Amino acid sequence: MADLTNVAFHGGLNPGGSNTPGLGELREQRLAEANGPAPGTASSDLAALIDARTDHRQFRDVHWEGSFYDYLDIVSRNPAVLRTAYQRVYDAVMSFGSEKYRAFKRDFVRYRFFSDPIDNGADAIFGLDSALMQLVDFLRSAAEGYGTDKRILLLHGPVGSSKSTIARLLKKGIEHYSRTEEGALYSFTWLLDEHCGPTAKTHAFACPMHEEPLMLVPKEARDDLLARLNERYTPAYGGGKLKLIGELDPFCRKVHADLMRHYNGDWRKVMEHVRVRRVALSEKDRIGIGTFQPKDEKNQDSTELTGDINYRKIAQFGSDSDPRAFNFDGELNIANRGICEFIEVLKLDVAFLYDLLGASQEHLIKPKKFAQTWIDEVIIGHTNEPEYRRLQNNEMMEAFRDRTIKIDVPYNIRLDDEIRIYQKDFGPTKVRGIHVAPHTLEVAAMWAVLSRLAEPKKAGLTLLQKLKLYNGKAISGFTEDSVKELRDEAEQEGMNGISPRYVQDKISNAMVSRQALEDKTVNPFMVLNELESGLSHHSLISDENTKKHYRSLLAVVREEYEDIIKGEVQRAISADEDAIRRLCGNYIENVRAFTQKERVKNKYTGKDEEPDERLMRSIEDKIDIPESRKEDFRQEIMNFIGALALDGKKFEYHTNARLYKALELKLFEDSRDTIKLKNMVSSVVDDETQAKIDVVKQRLIKQFGYNETSASDVLNYVASIFARGDSKSK
């Protein structure tokens, strides 16, 4: 039988005489697979592509191993490897840089970390710079050791306000940072016999809580060691000193004590059993990043936080209080040196919150049947308003409230930032096969932001105008001081209103609607209809007055959208540069004659005539220049032209923005009748009018981003407005 097997492998025996490969051929195939794909094949090209994207050097760096004394060399050269969890998280945030800007008469800092440069913006946060500044200030204070390192960070806000995203970014950031040269950190492994004894070095037992190797240094030597390292340590961002506080976890303490007894206190001999290794934090591998989520109270106990007995090993080690028979794999254990996130922390049973009291204030946890164990980690929780109110009303939880620092994470109240949230999911790079018409995401964002704003107390200021002021648009009569005053009088603005998730759901519904699939286009009215119809069964809105208010805001948004598209159609109609240039030249010639008290030569009759007052007023009326101010305005225009001439510049029709707007409106009014826009709603349009309409449609496509279908829809809708006799235009 042995000979036959040998023949089968080496001689290519193929039992049964079929075309299937024999054992010898299979062996050759496996050898070929082990050596890689054959050159020139499709698989070799793909393999080369994969290999080119694989950073072998980084893998070797991240998986470095060495002796304890090798590690002392590393610490001597780079003391930053000894930083605490808070120092690492703060440095991870700051390592991506920041930029300062001023708004509402306040200085703001935008931290690039929260734009998610790690995943190309997949978890980017928009418009929450104020809350994120508070968060970074908290991290810096903790990194400096000013006391906030003994607190639980509690992110508080309405549903869908990015609380989970902030926590996810911090976990992702520290994970990424630990793989960089600047963020390197180390732990150690014990080399022992199979029973965790000192007689051999055949088996490796990793420190279960990824502790700092210098925790192995005897307490008597730590102060001098830290003093020397702090002399060489220069924090990259801010201040703070290196610390080495606490004790080894029970397992490592037991092993260390046994080895010290075995070698009669010879610490150097003990260190021969230590292998230091670099650690890459990973949430998936449960190394330095933990996540705890509330579950059914009957199926959950505190061992999920602090570890549990390994019953299989009790027989081997003889006692359930032997640390070698215990799994130190609770979320607070494995999150040591990193971050532990508590999802919806205030939904936890009170017994779990008790564990957090010591974990935050004293940095200690109490595993079952063991002494308190030191931890070094950032504890983050997040919660919604109802749970937080319940916490405030619970007198039994004063100790927990006292150990938390709450940071409010509101909704966006700036329109442009809200639009960017929806562009992330429904922008041109995400949506394929369906055209998202211009302003579709804008009107959805506008409604969402309006729902979050408090009614302005200033007389004559509408909610829509307040939205525009917050978005940086200038409105006559309101200064930057006015905007600051509006912000100050509504401190809780953004803590209520429509969630971005609701809007995203309704945009998704519109994207897969029958009309969208047939026309390959989604327009603002389709989204607005989805938003309105969804209110009747919105799971979080039961109050009819609130629903009525939100529907009234939809009417405001529809009216604003009508004004926007009327303005775009107007600009498309009046976009004939030659016509607007001729109109501008005619106006300037008459204004010059008026201000110089001269006459104008009629190019058709050749006679000198008075300046055309009717023409000038028809243009000036478009930008609300009253009769009493017409002379001042005309003189301003002539002074403006003169100032340009002194600078060697030439006046063009678009040089003065205010006059340009007036010329556009005048040309639109004149052109509207020639195009017969009102007649578009009828079924009969003559060829000449259709040709002009096609020109306007192409301008909408080229200048404003419409496609054929959405441009036709907009023209038809604006035509219907004029057909109703609505001649209002901005």
Q: Is this prediction's pTM over 0.85?
A: no
DSSP reduced 3-state for 169: helix
- Note the Cα 633 to chain centre separation in Å: 47
Q: How confident is the model over 357-383, as a mean pLDDT?
A: 93
Query: What distance in Å separates the CA atoms of residue 79 and residue 72, rounded to the nearest whole number?
Result: 10
Confidence of residue 12 (pLDDT cuts 50, 70, 90): very low
More confident residue, 109 or 50: 109
Is pLDDT above 60 for 684?
no
Instruction: Give the per-residue pLDDT at 1.
Output: 38
3-state per-residue secondary structure call for 3-40: HHHHHHHHCCCCHHHCCCCCHHHHHHHHHHHHCCCCCC
**How far is CA 34 from its chain centroid?**
43
How many angstroms separate the CA atoms of 211 and 111, rounded?
30
Here the tokens at position 235 are: 């924090």
Question: What pLDDT score does 670 carry?
Answer: 74
> What mean pLDDT is predicted for residues 360-382?
94
Greatest extent of the chain over all pairs of C-alpha atoms, in Å: 123
Is pLDDT larger for residue 57 or for residue 536?
536
Element (H, E) at 620: helix 613-620
Burial of 714 (0-12, 13-18, 19+ CB in 10 A): buried
Measured distance CA(193)–CA(198) in Å, rounded: 6
Instruction: Please compute the mean of the pLDDT values over residues 161-170 and round it to a whole number.
Output: 95
Query: What pLDDT sits at residue 290?
Result: 95
The stretch 614-636 carries a mean pLDDT of 90
Domain residue extents for the chain: 1-39, 185-408
Q: What are phi and psi of 175, to 5 degrees?
A: -65, -45
> What share of the chain has pLDDT > 90, as a percent?
55
pLDDT at 362: 93
In this prediction, residue 359 carries a pLDDT of 93
- pLDDT surpassing 70 at residue 375: yes
Cβ-based neighbour number of residue 223 at 10 Å: 10
Strand ranges inside 152-270, DSSP E: 152-156, 185-192, 203-206
Which of 666 and 239 is assigned the larger pLDDT?
666
More confident of the two residues 401 and 6: 401
pLDDT at residue number 650: 87
When pLDDT is averaged across residues 500-513 and rounded to a whole number, the result is 94
pLDDT for residue 519 is more than 80: yes
Number of other residues whose CB lies within 10 A of the CB of residue 716: 13
Look at residue 725 and tell me whether its pLDDT is greater than 50: yes
Distance of CA 630 to the CA centre of its chain: 51
Contacts of 635 (CB under 8 A, 6+ apart): 595
pLDDT score at 655: 83
Contacts of 81 (CB under 8 A, 6+ apart): 74, 75, 184, 185, 186
Strand ranges across the sheet with 152-156:
289-292, 339-342, 378-383, 152-156, 404-408
**pLDDT band at residue 660 using 50, 70 and 90 as cut-offs:** confident
Please tell me the distance from the alpha carbon of residue 709 to that of residue 694, in angstroms, as a whole number: 12
**Which amino acid type is present at position 517?**
L
> What pLDDT score does 316 carry?
87
443 confidence band (pLDDT: 50, 70, 90): very high
Distance from first CA to last CA of the chain, Å, rounded?
96
Band of residue 393 on the pLDDT scale cut at 50, 70, 90: confident
pLDDT digits (tens, 9 = 90+) for 169-188: 999 999 999 999 999 999 99
Nearest Cα residue to 501 out of 435, 456, 448, 452 = 448
pLDDT computed for residue 674 by the predictor? 54
Q: Strand (E) positions, 241-392?
A: 274-279, 289-292, 308-309, 326-327, 339-342, 364-365, 373-374, 378-383
Average of pLDDT values for 609-633?
89
Please give the pLDDT value at position 379: 96
Alpha-carbon distance of 407 to 382, in angstroms, equals 9
pLDDT at residue 377, as a whole number: 96
pLDDT at 34: 55
User: Can you give the pLDDT at residue 175?
Assistant: 97
| Residue 668, number of CB atoms within 10 A of its CB | 22
Q: Write out the CATH class of domain 185-408.
A: alpha beta
> Tokens 């908290």 appear where?
138
Confidence of residue 40 (pLDDT cuts 50, 70, 90): low
| Banded model confidence at residue 293, pLDDT cuts 50, 70, 90 | confident
CA distance readout (Å), 652 to 574, 578, 621, 648, 657: 16, 12, 21, 13, 11
Mean pLDDT score, 196-212: 94
Phi, psi torsion values for 632, nearest 5 degrees: -65, -45
pLDDT in tens, 327-350: 999 999 999 999 999 998 888 877
| Per-residue pLDDT, 30 | 56
Q: Using 50, 70 and 90 to split pLDDT, how confident is the model at 3? A: very low
Average model confidence (pLDDT) across the chain: 86
pLDDT of amino acid 539: 78
Reported confidence tier of residue 418, pLDDT bands at 50, 70, 90: very high
Residue 454 DSSP symbol? P
239 has a pLDDT exceeding 80: no
Q: How far apart, in whole angstroms, are the C-alpha atoms of residue 655 and residue 645?
A: 12
Confidence of residue 676 (pLDDT cuts 50, 70, 90): low
